[in-house]
Structure formats: structure tokens, C-alpha cells
Amino acid sequence: MAKAKSKDKKHNHADHSEDLVRLRRIRGQIEGVERMIEDSRYCVDILNQMRSIMAALRSSEGLIMERHVRHCVQDAIDAGDTRKTEEKIGELLTLYQKR
């Protein structure tokens, strides 16, 4: 399990290394959209590719969120740390409200 830089230095965070592969694939898709625009491709083709990128980002977001709940939030619950558990729940609610 990889450690992430954080103010919470004692906490082991979920490993997100496989997300880098996904993000690199998404970056490639974005570069493809840039080329499509430079090549004056059909609007709907560009929009379809952009929707694919957004779906890939949402999927990656969901996987990171799941790992956060299964690791960070679960660790706070398992430790019996009510303050830390409430903090983690508050973070998730704040993220959800930004959607």
C-alpha cells in the first residue's frame, strides 16, 4: 500500500498507482480530441469523444472514492476515532455537494 503526502502522516492511504494508467489513457484521448479539432473533424465526432473522456473520468473518480471509503474511512471507524470518522464523512459530503 503506497503512502500519500498528507497532513495525516500516520495513515496509510490507498494505492492509486493503477489510476495513473487510466489517467494516461484519458490524457491520450484528450490529445486525440485536440488533433480532431486541429483537423476540423465533425462536431458530433468530437463531442462523442469528449463524452467518452468524461465517462472515463467519472469511472476513475468512482474507483478512487471507493478506495477512500474502504481504506481511509474504514480505518477511522476501525480505530474507534469518532472525531476522525466524522471528519472523513464530512469530507465526502462536501465532495458530493460540489457535484
What domain range includes position 54?
Answer: 17-97
Residue 25 falls within a domain, yes or no? yes
- Give the total number of structural domains in the chain: 1
Residue 36: CATH number of its domain: 1.20.58.1000
Residue 35 falls within a domain, yes or no? yes
Q: What is the CA radius of gyration of the chain?
A: 18
Residue 57 falls within a domain, yes or no? yes
> For residues 69 and 89, what is the distance between their CA atoms, to the nearest angstrom?
9
Residue 10 falls within a domain, yes or no? no
Residue 61 falls within a domain, yes or no? yes
Whole-number pLDDT of residue 16: 84
Whole-number pLDDT of residue 11: 54
DSSP letter at 10?
T
pLDDT in tens, 15-70: 888 899 999 999 999 999 999 999 999 999 999 999 999 999 999 999 999 999 99
